A = this chain, B = another copy of it.
Amino acid sequence: MRFGDDALGARLNALLEPGELDEVVVASDLVVQAAYMEWRRATVQRTGGDQHVRYIVGHPGAVAILAIDATSDAAVTPDSEMLFVRQFRAPVGQLLLEVPAGTLDLQTGIPEEPLLAAKRELEEETGLRAATWRHLQTFFTAPGFTSERMELFLALGLSEAGPDARTPDEDEALEAVRLTITEAAEAVRRGAIIDAKSLIAIAAAERLVTR
């Protein structure tokens, strides 16, 4: 009972069960690999169907952090501050205000454990550590063309990592910024925060407040 054993669960289980829509990869050729990504040309086939070519951007996975300056869930109010980073994003050619996030390291060829990556990224990007961590949500950023899977964590009980804090990668330039949850939600409405993971993190913060 993957998605529950009530009527909705039964329906979701049936809808998401493997079946005649499934595609099997019959060939997957690496076209190019660079940095942490790879571009693959996959040939896929459905049962009894024709073969089709799909170009896929292979990605090791990523984490995003909803870091709120509060000691516990119960202490989160609309005036609690969330952490953001201000960073220029070359792929979209503009400066963005985003929740802290990063790609899983692949130092031994195996993706880093997501919670460790989240702790590392929060410290590198904001200079902060958190006393309490909780996994909030898993999502695919763009499943039509990339395997990127993102894990969103809640970080509470923030404190300065101090002089021995890890620092950003050499090619990253960013600045930590604080906005209250109310301000962040308003920044979304005004179009000042416009990346998917940040919209999802801010919606999660609003749910913490109303709960």
Known: A32-B32, A55-B35. A199 touches B192 (CB 8 A): no
Closest B residue to A4 by beta carbon equals B190
Binds B, one of A40-48, A66-74, A104-112: A40-48
Complex: chain B residue closest to A56, CB-CB = B91
- A103–B143 Cα distance when bound, in Å, is 12
Q: How many copies does the complex hold?
A: 2
Residues B194 and A196 in contact, CB atoms below 8 Å apart: no
Cβ-closest chain B residue relative to A197: B196
- Residue in B closest to A101 when the chains form the complex, CB atoms: B144
Complex alpha-carbon distance, A81 and B97, angstroms: 34
A3/B144 contact (C-beta < 8 A), A88-B22, A199-B139 known: no
When distances are taken between beta carbons in the complex, the residues of chain B under 8 Å from A21 are 86-88, 95, 173-175
A1 CA / B140 CA spacing, docked (Å): 34
Interface residues of A (CB under 8 A from B): 2-4, 8-9, 12, 15-19, 21-23, 25, 31-32, 34-35, 37, 39, 41-42, 44, 46, 49, 52-57, 59, 62, 86-93, 95-98, 101, 103, 137-150, 171, 173-175, 177, 183, 186-187, 190-192, 194-197, 199-200, 203
A-B contact pairs, 21 of them (CB 8 A): A8-B186, A12-B190, A16-B86, A19-B95, A21-B86, A21-B174, A25-B90, A31-B34, A37-B55, A42-B90, A44-B90, A52-B171, A57-B91, A89-B143, A92-B143, A93-B147, A139-B195, A139-B196, A141-B142, A196-B197, A199-B203
